[in-house]
């Protein structure tokens, strides 16, 4: 057994983990002999008796949309193993979890081992299933000899030697199965977690050894040649470029997009992109996944059949590195809700012919690599069936939601602020984040809505922004509230309702409804939870309701009881920092113009323990937003090679305050460490950005001038946040922010605070 160290780095998120190879040849799920007495068979807590033979198969459920498959281990396909029956009952495609990777197929040079891969092929042929090939070229699970000189293992292989080995490997492996593999992951994980193509710092030697062979100025040649060799070896298979993390990081997604676009334009035979989809039940959101798929789908304008495949789906029950937790029913339900949202997206994208397959990375929870990743020995439960092969709520949520027992109750924060209801939508709404009512309980592909909520002492305010371009009699919204847990109240509006408390505004692609719901008798306090749900009904002309989408209760029992509503959690005042007009010199000295400015503190704990914290001030002028951070941090540390793990401050700016779930063109993140090292995320204007720092007796000062894309004007409200990273001995040990508690500012502006530009006399 040998251990490989691998780094996953996303801006603001670091997972260093040890991947243990060589332990994957047998599955912990049993093995139970078929047709024999099974009652005494136990592996750990696992006791597999039989799978459910009377429930719908995933393959049949999704047959009109996409193939659905799983990663397998060869021994699972033995006819004596119950898994072999289970896998073909539920799925119609398989992929090798490990046995087609280079360390398995070519452990020593030119000595190929195909027994296990052949076994997979025979199984698919006997059972009329598809086979995915995973993978031909990867920096991981590749034997050491591959990159070594033939005569001296201490020296690296030359470019020519490495290319000839790649070619030989691809010819032998892809060549052997030519015509029999549906899709090949030709290259795996070639995009870096920080920027551009993965290189030596991401443990990949391909780029540095091979470099720019054809002299076109790009060093993606090893990828281009791998696709060329693969096409020669197997002219029929779909050739896929596969990677992880693109669903949650627009930076990684866009780097991949730009790479594929350039290579397609150059004629490289790439047939599609593989989204691994190793996600968690906390993130990314369904909207992020959808945006990611739709971004890649635009490549069809270059190659009409360009395919998008979900290649390795699983959904961890953990949020990052949190410690082992017990798998409660509530966790199962939360996971089921998120699986349902993702599969709604997959279905919708399949209808648009954007995706063709969804592969699970394991047939059931007894067989998941996440039991050891990213934390060793932390048992996870990321798949659709449990450790005994029984259907989990997640399975039912995507097969027949009416059979899910119970519904996870989502929570959203509702800030305190008084809102005006009227002929126009109050500008204050733009300072609040939204959530979606997009879970279909009747029909599909109809109206959905983006919802915002707020409250004051007397009222609950709801804004529903409905997308519904077909006008119908029964178009409308139902709001359900149970303030005390004892009485369901229902408030309904149609497309034309206009009263003192409900106002509807027509829009080109739908309508907006503003509700003011009196608390009458209920006293709101910060922290109180109001049971809440909302349903969007859609009809065409004078027809019946064709579709209904809800926020929380997908069992659609809102009228009868409130036990499956979500919660509005009443929060403190909405945060807006008033920003005066003024122009400081960016030199690290605190000019007197800063005395004008209002200040806020970073006192929201995002991660780790509260260490370094900042007092933050802002000023604005026509083309800049100025930010001053006075940081208290007793020990300064920049020893980590990751910028975000060093003592540093970050500013987030969402100029149009659209608070999207992924970065838009106006969204930027600027980071500056205490020695004025800058780093960027989003469409930053690096040339115009200015910063200066100075260390002080108890910390440091950072001044920034953030270029505005649209000139500032008085009264404009923009999304803004500030964050302080506390590095200690090379690790980020604490993160404090002004507003966003999620720590996801590097991916979404949804939860950041606001600044309001104030007019100054004469301006
Ligand atoms: C994993 C396997 O499931 C494990 O058994 C093995 O120890 C490590 O690799 N991305 C990929 C897959 O492309 O090949 C990985 O599979 C999971 C991450």
Q: Quick check: is 312 catalytic? A: yes
3-state helix, strand, coil in the chain (%, to 5): 20, 35, 45
In eight-state DSSP terms, residue 708 is P
Q: Quick check: is 322 catalytic? A: no
Say yes or no to pLDDT of 37 above 70.
no
CA 315 to chain centre: 11
pLDDT mean over 583-612: 96
Q: For residue range 432-460, what is the model confidence (pLDDT) as tens digits?
A: 888 999 988 998 889 999 999 999 999 99
Please, which contacts does 599-604 make with residues 24 or more away whose CB atoms are closer than 8 Å? 600/575, 600/722, 600/738, 601/738, 602/722, 602/723, 602/724, 602/736, 602/737, 602/738, 603/736, 603/738, 604/736, 604/737, 604/738, 604/739, 604/740, 604/741
Which pLDDT belongs to residue 132? 98
Strand runs (DSSP E) across 551-659, as ranges? 566-573, 576-581, 599-601, 604-608, 613-621, 624-632, 648-654
Say yes or no to pLDDT of 474 above 90.
yes
In what helix (H) or strand (E) does residue 260 lie, and over which residues does it extend?
helix 250-265
Which pLDDT belongs to residue 35? 37
Comparing 42 with 475, the larger pLDDT belongs to 475
- What is the 98 CA–ligand 1 centroid distance (Å)? 7
Question: Phi-psi region for residue 245, left (φ > 0), alpha (ψ -120 to 50) or beta?
Answer: left
- What is the 97 CA–ligand 1 centroid distance (Å)? 6
- What is the 383 CA–ligand 1 centroid distance (Å)? 15
Q: Do the Cβ atoms of 29 and 364 come closer than 8 Å?
A: yes
Tell me if 24 CB under 6 Å of ligand 1: yes
Which pLDDT belongs to residue 372? 95
Q: Do the Cβ atoms of 104 and 113 come closer than 8 Å?
A: yes
Which pLDDT belongs to residue 34? 39
Tokens 């529903």 found at:
464
Active-site residue, selected from the candidate residues 93, 185, 255, 312:
312
Show Cβ contacts of residue 395 under 8 Å, excluding neighbours closer than 6 positions: 55, 58, 384, 385
Mean pLDDT of the chain: 91
Say yes or no to pLDDT of 140 above 60.
yes
Q: Quick check: is 189 catalytic? A: yes
Give the C-alpha separation, 6 to 142, whole Å: 13
Q: 529-539 and 545-550 as β-strands: parallel, antiparallel, unpaired?
A: antiparallel
Q: Point out the ligand 1 atom lying closest to the alpha carbon of residue 372.
A: 7
pTM comes to 0.81
Give 722's strand partners.
Answer: 651
Which pLDDT belongs to residue 657? 87
Domains in the chain (CATH in brackets) are 3-403 (3.20.20.80), 411-573 (2.60.40.1190), 576-757 (2.60.40.1190)
Please provide the size of the chain in residues.
763
SS (H, E, C) 650-702: EEEEECCCCCCCCCCCCEEEEEEECCCCEEEEECCCCCCCEEEEEEECCEEEE
pLDDT mean over 69-75: 97
Say yes or no to pLDDT of 424 above 80.
yes
Which pLDDT belongs to residue 48? 64
Which pLDDT belongs to residue 430? 86
Q: Is the dihedral of CA 580, 584, 587, 588 positive or negative?
A: negative
CA angle in degrees (0–180, nearest 5) for 431-437-439: 150
Q: Point out the ligand 1 atom lying closest to the alpha carbon of residue 242.
A: 13
Q: Do the Cβ atoms of 571 and 519 come closer than 8 Å?
A: no
Mutate to test the pocket of ligand 1, among 15, 97, 184 (most ligand atoms within 8 A of CB): 97
Residue 11 has phi, psi (to 5 degrees) of -60, 125
Which pLDDT belongs to residue 664? 81
Show Cβ contacts of residue 122 under 8 Å, excluding neighbours closer than 6 positions: none
Which pLDDT belongs to residue 194? 82
Which pLDDT belongs to residue 12? 32
Residue from 501, 481, 648, 644 nearest 568 by CA = 481
Determine the 3-state secondary structure of 130 from DSSP. strand
Determine the 3-state secondary structure of 561 from DSSP. coil
Determine the 3-state secondary structure of 597 from DSSP. coil
Give the C-alpha separation, 481 to 551, whole Å: 13
In the chain, pLDDT over 70 holds for what percent of residues?
93
In eight-state DSSP terms, residue 301 is G
Q: Is the dihedral of CA 321, 365, 382, 534 positive or negative?
A: negative
In what helix (H) or strand (E) does residue 482 lie, and over which residues does it extend?
strand 476-482
Give 411's strand partners.
Answer: 567
Helix axes 250-265, 221-233, angle to 10 degrees: 60
Q: How confident is the model at residue 319 (pLDDT cuts 50, 70, 90)?
A: confident
Q: How confident is the model at residue 28 (pLDDT cuts 50, 70, 90)?
A: low
Tell me if 138 CB under 6 Å of ligand 1: no
Q: For residue range 260-290, what is the model confidence (pLDDT) as tens digits?
A: 999 999 999 999 999 999 999 988 889 889 9
Tell me if 311 CB under 6 Å of ligand 1: no
Say yes or no to pLDDT of 379 above 80.
yes
By CB atoms closer than 10 A (0-12, 13-18, 19+), residue 237 is buried
In what helix (H) or strand (E) does residue 583 lie, and over which residues does it extend?
none
Q: For residue range 543-587, what is the model confidence (pLDDT) as tens digits?
A: 899 999 999 999 999 998 999 999 999 988 889 999 999 999 999
- What is the 607 CA–ligand 1 centroid distance (Å)? 28
pLDDT mean over 227-256: 95
In the chain, pLDDT over 90 holds for what percent of residues?
81
Comparing 4 with 621, the larger pLDDT belongs to 621
């Amino acid at each position: 057994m040998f251990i490989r160290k691998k780094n996953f780095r996303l801006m603001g998120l670091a997972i260093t983990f040890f991947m243990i190879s060589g332990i994957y040849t047998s599955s912990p799920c049993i093995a139970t002999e078929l047709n024999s007495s099974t009652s005494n068979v136990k592996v750990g807590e696992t006791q597999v008796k039989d799978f459910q033979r009377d429930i719908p198969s995933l393959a049949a459920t999704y047959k009109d949309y996409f193939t659905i498959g799983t990663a397998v281990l060869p021994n699972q396909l033995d006819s004596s193993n119950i898994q072999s029956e289970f896998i073909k009952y539920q799925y119609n495609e398989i992929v090798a979890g490990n046995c087609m990777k280079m360390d398995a197929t070519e452990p020593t040079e030119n000595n190929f081992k195909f027994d296990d891969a052949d076994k997979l092929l025979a199984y698919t042929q006997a059972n009329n299933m598809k086979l995915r090939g995973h993978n031909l070229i990867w920096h991981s699970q590749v034997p050491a000899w591959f990159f070594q000189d033939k005569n001296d293992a201490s020296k690296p292989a030359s470019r020519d030697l490495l290319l000839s080995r790649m070619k030989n490997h691809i010819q032998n492996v892809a060549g052997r199965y030519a015509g029999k593999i549906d899709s090949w992951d030709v290259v795996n994980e070639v995009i870096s977690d920080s920027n551009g193509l993965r290189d030596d710092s991401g443990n990949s030697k391909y780029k540095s050894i091979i470099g720019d062979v054809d002299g076109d100025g790009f060093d993606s040649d090893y990828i281009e040649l791998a696709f060329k060799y693969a096409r020669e070896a197997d002219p029929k298979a779909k050739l896929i470029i596969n990677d992880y993390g693109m669903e949650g990081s627009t930076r990684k997604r866009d780097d991949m997009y730009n790479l594929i676009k350039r290579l397609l334009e150059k004629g490289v035979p790439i047939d599609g992109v593989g989204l691994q989809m190793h996600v968690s039940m906390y993130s990314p959101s369904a909207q992020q996944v959808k945006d990611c798929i739709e971004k890649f789908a635009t490549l069809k304008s270059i190659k009409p059949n360009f395919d998008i495949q979900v290649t390795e789906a699983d959904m961890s029950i953990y949020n990052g590195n949190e410690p082992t937790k017990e798998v409660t029913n509530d966790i199962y339900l939360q996971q089921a809700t998120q699986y349902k949202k993702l599969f709604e997206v997959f279905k919708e994208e399949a209808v648009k012919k954007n995706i063709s397959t969804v592969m699970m990375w394991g047939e059931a929870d007894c067989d998941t690599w996440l039991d050891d990743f990213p934390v060793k020995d932390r048992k996870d439960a990321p798949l659709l069936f449990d450790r005994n092969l029984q259907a989990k709520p997640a399975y039912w949520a995507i097969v027949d939601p009416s059979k899910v027992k119970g519904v996870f109750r989502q929570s959203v924060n509702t800030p305190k602020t008084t809102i005006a209801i009227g002929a126009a939508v109050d500008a204050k709404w733009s300072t609040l984040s939204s959530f979606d009512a997009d879970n279909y309980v009747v029909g599909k592909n109809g109206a959905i809505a983006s919802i915002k909520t707020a409250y004051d002492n007397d009222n609950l305010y709801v804004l529903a922004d409905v997308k519904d371009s077909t006008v119908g009699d029964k178009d409308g919204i139902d709001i359900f509230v149970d303030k005390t847990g004892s009485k369901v109240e229902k408030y309904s509006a149609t497309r034309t309702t206009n009263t003192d408390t409900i106002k509807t505004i027509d829009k080109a692609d739908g309508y907006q409804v503003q509700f003011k719901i009196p608390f009458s008798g209920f006293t709101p306090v910060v922290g109180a939870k109001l049971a809440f749900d909302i349903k969007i009904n859609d009809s065409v002309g004078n027809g019946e309701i064709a579709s209904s989408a809800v926020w929380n209760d997908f069992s659609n029992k809102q009228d009868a009881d409130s036990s499956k509503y979500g919660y509005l959690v009443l929060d403190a005042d909405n945060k807006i920092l008033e920003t005066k007009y003024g122009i400081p010199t960016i030199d690290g000295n605190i000019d007197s113009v800063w005395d004008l400015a209002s200040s806020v503190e970073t006192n929201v704990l995002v991660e780790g323990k509260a260490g370094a914290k900042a007092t933050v001030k802002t000023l604005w002028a026509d083309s800049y937003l100025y930010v001053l951070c006075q940081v208290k941090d007793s020990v300064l540390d920049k020893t980590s090679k990751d910028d975000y793990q060093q003592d540093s401050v970050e500013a987030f700016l969402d100029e149009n305050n659209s608070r999207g779930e992924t970065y838009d063109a106006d969204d930027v993140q600027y980071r500056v460490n205490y020695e004025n090292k800058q780093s960027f995320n989003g469409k930053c204007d690096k040339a115009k950005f200015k910063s200066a720092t100075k260390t002080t007796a108890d910390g440091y000062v950072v001044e920034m001038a953030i270029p505005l894309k649209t000139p500032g004007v008085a009264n404009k409200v923009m999304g803004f946040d500030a964050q302080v990273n506390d590095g200690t001995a090379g690790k980020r040990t604490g993160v404090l922010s002004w507003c966003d508690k999620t720590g996801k500012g590097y991916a979404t502006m949804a939860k950041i605070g606001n600044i309001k530009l104030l007019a100054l006399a004469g301006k």
